[in-house]
Amino acid sequence: MKALARLKRTRTGDMFGDSGIKWRKKDWWKYLLALLILAIYLFPFYIIFNVALRTMQESASLLKLPSEIYFGNFQKVISEGAIFNGIKNTFIITFGSVAVEIIIGCMAAYALARNQSKLNEVVRSLIMSVMMITPLTILVGVYSTMASLNAISTYWGMIVLQTALHLPLVIMLYTNFISSIPPALDEAAAIDGANLFQVFWNVILPQLKTVTVSVIILSGVSTWNEFTYAYYFLQKANMKTITLVIQTCFSAIMNDYGAAAATAVIGMLPLAIIYLFLQKYFIKGQIDGAIKS
């Protein structure tokens, strides 16, 4: 949270030409508003911790703390161990697909942003139209593709599928960003004898740091929490991702909300840690920009 506050202050400082980082009295309402928004955002987390730390028999309202803090849900989930295998699977799939998306996504965006021919306008709008497909529409077709490639219940199959689904968003973000880099930079490098790949590698790539952090966060979070496709294509018990492990707490016989909440809490920790780590790069990217200009 400290990092966020610092980020906010440096940003206003930069954008509006004020110097120094100081508490300004006339801005009190901004801090109040921020606190209010923060409270709204933290409320669901309060509820989920509250459910995870109470017994099934607890009668106190969900808004109040349970009469006795109960660690049984966490003990049960940890001793069963399915969640750790789930985190491993989710991590491999998320890391793999985000890495592939970044590589082939920014390559594609480079071509689409720099060569705006009629053909590429068509390619671009076809790629964007993929975002508009509701997942279940193409389920049957995806299933037969995956089955014929022996990709069901494999890491690589899920990684490539997630990549295909997220590429439109990744390409959109990169294309918008690369379009804002002056083409004169490319031309100068070309005159100096750089080939297309060298221009891409030496001129374009170094500028993509901040937008890449957005891509990692947007695409990473949505892969981490993906449920629909994981449900159909990760059928083996040892391939289950976190969302599928949570689902096993709900059955026709009994809904174990406590275990589900405890699993969810453990399952979101790695993501929260990665996010805090990435946030530093937001600030860093910004300072780099300030120094350059």
Partner 1 sequence: MAKRKSRINFFYLPAVIVMLIFIAYPLGRAIYLSFFQWNGYSSTMTFTGLKNYQSMMTDNIFFVSIRNTLIYGFGSTLCQQILGLAPYDWLAHPGSAIMLIVIINSWQFVGVSMVIYLAGIQGISTSYMEAAQIDGANAWQRFRYIMLPLLMPAISSSVIYNLIGGLKLYDVIISLTQGGPGKMTNSLATYIANRYFDAERAGYAAAIGFFSFVMIMIISTIVNGYFRKKEVEY
Least separation in angstroms between residue 83's CB and partner 1 is: 19
Least distance CB 81 / partner 1 (angstroms): 25
How many other CB atoms are found less than 10 A from the CB of residue 275? 14
# residues near partner 1 by CB under 8 A: 70
Q: Is 135 in the site for partner 1 (CB under 8 A)?
A: yes
User: What are the counts of helices (DSSP H) followed by strands (DSSP E) for the chain?
Assistant: 13, 0
Helix (H, G, I), strand (E, B) or coil at 220: helix
Contacts of 121 (CB under 8 A, 6+ apart): none
Query: Which H or E run includes 227?
Result: none
Instruction: Report the distance separating Cα 124 and Cα 233, nearest Å.
Output: 29
Q: How far is CA 217 from the centre of its chain?
A: 3
Q: Which parts of the chain fold into alpha helices (H)?
A: 2-15, 28-52, 72-80, 82-114, 118-129, 139-148, 155-179, 183-191, 196-199, 209-224, 228-233, 242-247, 257-292
Coil, helix or strand at residue 115: coil
At 170, phi and psi to the nearest 5? -60, -45
Q: Cβ atoms within 10 A of the Cβ of 264, count?
A: 21
Region binding partner 1 by CB under 8 A among candidate stretches 65-73, 84-92, 107-115, 257-265: 107-115
10 binds partner 1 per the rule CB under 8 A: no
Report the residue from 21, 122, 131, 185 that binds partner 1 according to the rule CB under 8 A.
131
CB of 177 to partner 1, least distance (A): 7
How many CB atoms are closer than 10 A to CB 248?
A: 16
* Residue 144 in the binding site for partner 1 (CB under 8 A): yes
Out of 52, 171, 230, 234, the only residue in the binding site for partner 1 (CB under 8 A) is 171
CA distance 158 to 226: 11
Nearer to partner 1, 81 or 182 (CB): 182
Q: Which positions from 212 through 241 interact with partner 1, judged by CB under 8 A? A: 213-214, 217-218, 227-228
Stretch 236-265 residues interacting with partner 1 (CB under 8 A): none
User: Is residue 16 a contact point for partner 1 (CB under 8 A)?
Assistant: yes
Which residue, 129 or 202, is less far from partner 1 as judged by CB? 129
With CB under 8 A as the contact rule, the residue among 74, 200, 224, 233 that binds partner 1 is 200
Where do contacts with partner 1 occur on this chain (CB under 8 A)? 11, 14-17, 36, 40-41, 44, 104-105, 107-108, 110-112, 114-115, 117, 119-120, 123, 127, 129-142, 144-145, 160-161, 163-165, 167, 169, 171-173, 176-177, 179-180, 190, 196, 200, 210-211, 213-214, 217-218, 227-228, 282, 285-286, 289-290, 293
